[in-house]
Structure formats: structure tokens, C-alpha cells
């Protein structure tokens, strides 16, 4: 009956009163505000779809920015959105909620897909069941091709 051992588990992060802590096989590290809050969002609008590139970490501290960006695009009339997670280093349950909310808003009136998630982020998406309700593509080009191919135009 072994207990939980850090050496048998992937790195984990948690928010505390002193900041964000990362627990990995080498022990606990405190991440400063610059590391824990850093997330960049870049938006590319095309003729038939919009791609949102999120880099850094998506957690309770940063996901409101992502949610605001995605909601603004939908409110502006964008109905085909790809969220590229190629430069996303981690995602928390708060980030998963943003993804599900966006997928729900576009269900039946548009398309939402995820692309380029690294192995650990994809693993979280799969475990949370996100990969069962949102199309996930290995790279942004394949997501763009799939969504563009299904676009019937005005």
C-alpha cells in the first residue's frame, strides 16, 4: 500500500497564498508571478475561420483573459474558431471550463476545435473528456483544413 510518490507522477501545480507551486520529481518549486501568470494570446482572423494562439499557462489566474478573447470573437460574429495550444505549458480545470463554455456557445451555430496540444495538455483534455466533445487536431494546419472543408459559405 504505497502512498503517493512524486517520482511516479507528472509535475503538478497548485495555487497557494504564496503563489503557484510546482510539484515534480525533484521536489516543490515556487513559481514567481511572472512565471505563473504569464499567458499570451494572439488572434489570427481569416476569411472562413479565426485561430487563437494561447501560450504559457492556462489556469484560474489567466483563463479570464482567454475567456474574454473567445467570447469577444463570438460576440463579433466569428463562428469558426480554432484554439491552438501548441505553446501552452499547462491547463487547469478553470481552463477546461473555458474550452467547454466556448464549445457550448458554438454548438449548433459554428465550429470549435483545438490544435497542437502537447502530450501532457492532450492527456488532460482526454482525461477530462474534452477530446470527446471538441475536435482535437495534431497541428493547426490540419484543423484549418478540416474546418475550411466543412464551410459551406454565405
> What are the CA-CA distances from residue 52 to residues 9, 82, 95, 113, 132 (Å)?
31, 6, 14, 10, 21
pTM over 0.95: no
Residue 47 CB partners (closer than 8 Å, separation 6+): none
pLDDT digits (tens, 9 = 90+) for 80-122: 999 999 999 999 999 999 999 999 999 999 999 999 999 999 9
Q: Where are the domains of the chain?
A: 6-36, 39-150
Which range, 11-15, 17-21, 138-142, has the best average confidence (pLDDT)?
138-142
Give 39-150's CATH code, choosing from 3.30.750.24, 3.40.50.720, 3.20.20.140, 3.40.50.1220.
3.30.750.24
pLDDT digits (tens, 9 = 90+) for 26-55: 655 555 544 445 889 999 999 899 999 999
Amino acid at each position: 500500500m504505497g502512498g503517493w510518490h512524486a517520482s511516479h507522477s507528472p509535475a503538478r501545480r497548485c495555487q497557494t497564498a504564496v503563489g503557484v507551486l510546482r510539484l515534480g520529481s525533484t521536489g516543490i518549486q515556487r513559481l514567481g508571478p511572472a512565471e505563473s501568470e504569464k499567458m499570451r494570446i494572439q488572434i489570427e482572423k481569416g476569411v472562413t475561420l479565426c485561430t487563437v494562439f494561447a501560450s504559457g499557462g492556462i489556469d484560474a489566474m489567466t483563463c479570464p483573459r482567454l475567456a474574454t478573447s473567445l467570447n469577444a470573437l463570438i460576440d463579433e460574429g466569428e463562428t469558426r474558431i480554432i484554439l491552438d495550444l501548441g505553446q501552452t505549458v499547462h491547463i487547469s480545470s478553470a481552463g477546461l471550463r473555458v474550452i467547454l463554455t466556448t464549445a457550448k456557445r458554438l454548438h449548433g451555430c459554428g465550429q470549435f476545435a483545438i490544435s497542437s496540444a502537447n502530450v501532457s495538455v492532450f492527456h488532460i483534455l482526454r482525461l477530462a473528456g474534452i477530446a470527446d466533445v471538441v475536435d482535437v487536431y495534431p497541428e493547426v494546419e490540419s484543423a484549418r483544413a478540416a474546418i475550411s472543408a466543412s464551410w459551406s459559405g454565405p
